[in-house]
Structure formats: structure tokens, C-alpha cells
Amino acid sequence: MNQQTSRRAVVRTPHGPESIEIVDVPVPEPGQGQVLVKVAAAAINPVDLEVTGGGLHRLGLVTQPEHTGLGADFSGVVEAIGDDVDLAVGTRVAGFVGGFDRDHGSHAEQVVVDAADVAVLPDGMCPNVAASLPLTVTTAAQLLEVLGAVPAEGRRLLVTGAAGGVGAAVAALAAARGWAVTGLARAGDEAFVRGLGVDFTAAPQGRWDVVADTAAMQDEAVSLVRDGGRFVGVKPGLEPDAERGIAVDVVVSRPDGPLLAGLLDRVADGTLPARIHAALPLAEVVGAYQLLAKGGVRGRVVVLP
Ligand SMILES: NC(=O)c1ccc[n+]([C@@H]2O[C@H](COP(=O)([O-])OP(=O)(O)OC[C@H]3O[C@@H](n4cnc5c(N)ncnc54)[C@H](OP(=O)(O)O)[C@@H]3O)[C@@H](O)[C@H]2O)c1
């Protein structure tokens, strides 16, 4: 890598994965409380595909004048620190870049983030595995925070999309908290979902106290909540209408280093799952996005700068 510039994947006029370009930008500098991370691996999430598709631009939610940076999740090594940062250069970390209306992202050789947003990797954790986790597991834990102090014991929770990144983590974390969890997923995902220690359905019948709708089934998922129960979605701004006294909430994930550190420990001790579908070099980022866009992927697609 050249010392003065850093490669980054961006879209200017988004029209699908083919519109992704790799551009050279000046190496970003960490400000106060920030770290420069040399990215080792960076997962592609559904929101990255949405950004490349242009839907969020059309809604006015992405307004970058020049280009929009891609990628949230990353693992890597601290390369430089700003003032008031305790982390040492060389520390292996993981995290995610919050939001999506930004000119930079983690699908890049380097990224600057707040030191408070990163977690130190557990000893021996593979960088690809670490890169596959931050956004999904943090969202899952924060979705359960939305449910707050609801007594978990015996309460019935349906998790739609339980074979996905967020859903699998919600199911595993909720089961550990004492929820009676059913995972809704495709028939072919039964073994994986049951392996999380929860019940499985591909054709839900009846109603649950709470539905965590990580498959974004929206109204269909609301219909699976009992009267007076609770729905928690994953699509801010697109919350389905409340009906039958059902409380409707949505999770909006935000980076949280200490929370992530605890979740990475759970992956390291085997109580939270991690799945990688493929790892491709950053130079093949278009193909990596196309792979995800094709569908049917189980586990994250990871790019390697
Ligand atoms: N609000 C936030 O802050 C936030 C943060 C992170 C993610 N999200 C959103 O959360 C959602 C999940 O993200 P993710 O990373 O977990 O995605 P993912 O890994 O692709 O998981 C989604 C899962 O849902 C399954 N699914 C979809 N429709 C289904 C159906 N009708 N029946 C059974 N299973 C179904 C998918 O299976 P197939 O692949 O077979 O369709 C997939 O296994 C995305 O919409 C993402 O944008 C929101």
C-alpha cells in the first residue's frame, strides 16, 4: 500500500453492485478519541446492498455530494490513535461504522472510528470471523434491550429470520435470558436453528407474546403477535401499523465497543454462532456484492482489503 493514499469502495450513481468503484483517498487521520484501523476483513450486510441499489438515495436518506462509502463491519489492527485513546497501536479490534449516509466505510484499506466503538478481539479469534459479527450481534443485543425489563421466563418469543445474522443472535441471546424462543426460517435451516437451542418453524401457526421480526416480514409478522403483545422490527421509518393493542417498536443499532466485546466473548465460547459464506479480496468487491445479491447465502460474505 502507498503511504499517502488508501483504497475505499464507494458508489457515486448507485445502480446495483456493478456501480461500485474503488477510489484512492488520502489516508484518514484519527481525531481526538478516535483510532485509525488497518482493515483486515469487512463483512457485507444487507444495508450495504441497499446503498448500492440506490433506494436509500431516492428516499433522501443518503445525500453524499461526491460518493458514498460502503461497509459497516470490520476487523483489523489499530494503526494510529488520536488524543485521549487508551488502545495501543497494534491492538486487534473489531467494530462497525454507524449509519450509512457517509463518504467512508469499512470496505476499505483503512477506516477511522471512535475508540469507544471498537472491541478488542478475544485471543485467537480469526479476523474473518470477527468481521462477520459486529453489526448483527450488536443489533440483536440492542433489539433485546428494546424489550427491556420484560420478565423473560416463560414468555414466548418468535424470531423471524432466525437463520440470518441478526435473527440467529437474537434467538440465542433470548434463549439464554429465559425466553421460550421459536425461530422462523426456511425449511432447510431447521438443523441450524435448532442448534441455537430454540424451537423451529417454517410455517408458523398461532400467536406469540413477542415477535422479533429480523426477516422484515412486517405486517405478516404483526399478525403472529397475540392481542396486546409486542412487535420489534428492524426497519426504522417503516414500522407496520399497530393493531389489536400490539406495541410496535423498532431497533436502531448504534456502535458500542463494550457491548460488542461481551458478544465476541460469547462467540469465542461457542454460545453465539458465527458463519462465513465466502471471503474475497477487495479488488473483487463487485463480485462479492453480486454473490450476496443472488440470495440464498448462509453466513456473511467478507471482503479482504
Ligand atoms: N435497524 C437496524 O439497525 C438494523 C441493523 C442490522 C440489520 N438490520 C436489518 O435486519 C434485517 C436482517 O439482517 P441480517 O443481516 O440478519 O440479514 P440476513 O443474514 O440476510 O438474514 C435474513 C434472514 O431472513 C430470512 N428470511 C427472509 N424472509 C423469510 C421468510 N419469509 N421466511 C423465513 N425466513 C426468511 C432469510 O432467508 P433467505 O436468505 O432464504 O431469504 C435470511 O436467513 C435486514 O433487513 C437488515 O437490513 C437492521
Q: How far is the CA of 171 from the centre of ligand 1 (A)?
A: 13
Domain span at 204: 136-250
Q: Which of 211, 234, 250 is the last residue of a domain?
A: 250
Q: How far is the CA of 164 from the centre of ligand 1 (A)?
A: 6
Q: Rounded CA gap, 142 and 9, in Å?
A: 28
Q: What is the mean pLDDT of residues 240-261?
A: 96
Q: What is the CATH number of the domain that holds 186?
A: 3.40.50.720
Q: What is the mean pLDDT of residues 172-191?
A: 96
Q: What is the mean pLDDT of residues 61-90?
A: 97
Same-domain pairing of 120 and 157: no
Q: What is the mean pLDDT of the chain?
A: 96
257 within a domain of the structure (yes/no)? no
Q: Is the pLDDT of residue 152 over 70?
A: no
Same-domain pairing of 41 and 69: yes
Measure CA of the first residue to CA of the last residue in the chain; give whole Å: 10
268 within a domain of the structure (yes/no)? no
Q: What is the mean pLDDT of residues 51-73?
A: 96
Q: How far is the CA of 218 from the centre of ligand 1 (A)?
A: 12
Same-domain pairing of 185 and 286: no
In this prediction, residue 157 carries a pLDDT of: 96
28 within a domain of the structure (yes/no)? yes
Same-domain pairing of 59 and 122: yes
40 within a domain of the structure (yes/no)? yes
Q: Atom 24 of ligand 1 has which residue's CA nearest to it?
A: 161
Q: What percent of the chain shows pLDDT beyond 70?
A: 97
Let me know the angle formed at the C-alpha of 85 by 84 and 88, rounded to the nearest 5 degrees. 140
Q: How far is the CA of 216 from the centre of ligand 1 (A)?
A: 6
Same-domain pairing of 283 and 172: no
270 within a domain of the structure (yes/no)? no
Q: What is the mean pLDDT of residues 6-20?
A: 97
Same-domain pairing of 140 and 128: no
Q: How far is the CA of 212 from the centre of ligand 1 (A)?
A: 11
Query: Based on the structure, what is the number of domains in the chain?
Result: 2
Let me know the angle formed at the C-alpha of 41 by 37 and 86, rounded to the nearest 5 degrees. 25
Q: Is the pLDDT of residue 2 over 60?
A: no
In this prediction, residue 3 carries a pLDDT of: 59
CB-based contacts of 141, cutoff 8 Å, min separation 6: 169, 173, 259, 263
88 within a domain of the structure (yes/no)? yes
Q: How far is the CA of 46 from the centre of ligand 1 (A)?
A: 8
In this prediction, residue 148 carries a pLDDT of: 79
Confidence of residue 151 (pLDDT cuts 50, 70, 90): low
Which atom, in ligand 1's list, is nearest to the CA of 254? 3
Same-domain pairing of 57 and 143: no
Q: Which of 250, 266, 293 is the last residue of a domain?
A: 250
Q: Which residues line ligand 1 (CB under 6 A)?
A: 45-47, 135-136, 139, 161, 163-167, 184-186, 214-217, 234, 236, 251-253, 295-296
Q: Is the pLDDT of residue 158 over 80?
A: yes
Which atom, in ligand 1's list, is nearest to the CA of 189? 43
Q: Is the pLDDT of residue 1 over 60?
A: no
Lowest mean per-residue pLDDT among 36-50, 150-164, 223-237, 256-270: 150-164
Same-domain pairing of 166 and 242: yes
- Reported for 257-260, long-range contacts at CB under 8 A and 24+ positions apart, including other chains, are 257/95, 257/115, 257/116, 257/117, 257/118, 257/119, 258/119, 259/138, 259/141, 259/142, 260/94, 260/95, 260/118, 260/119, 260/133, 260/134, 260/137, 260/138
155 within a domain of the structure (yes/no)? yes
Q: What is the CATH number of the domain that holds 103?
A: 3.90.180.10
Q: Rounded CA gap, 3 and 19, in Å?
A: 27
Confidence of residue 149 (pLDDT cuts 50, 70, 90): low
Same-domain pairing of 124 and 207: no
Q: What is the mean pLDDT of residues 7-36?
A: 97
269 within a domain of the structure (yes/no)? no
Same-domain pairing of 126 and 220: no
Q: Is the pLDDT of residue 240 over 80?
A: yes
With beta carbons less than 8 A apart as the criterion, state whether 126 and 75 touch.
no
Q: Atom 15 of ligand 1 has which residue's CA nearest to it?
A: 165
Same-domain pairing of 17 and 107: yes
Lowest mean per-residue pLDDT among 21-30, 142-151, 256-265, 278-287: 142-151
Q: What is the mean pLDDT of residues 80-99?
A: 98
Same-domain pairing of 116 and 216: no
In this prediction, residue 147 carries a pLDDT of: 86
Confidence of residue 150 (pLDDT cuts 50, 70, 90): low
Confidence of residue 154 (pLDDT cuts 50, 70, 90): low
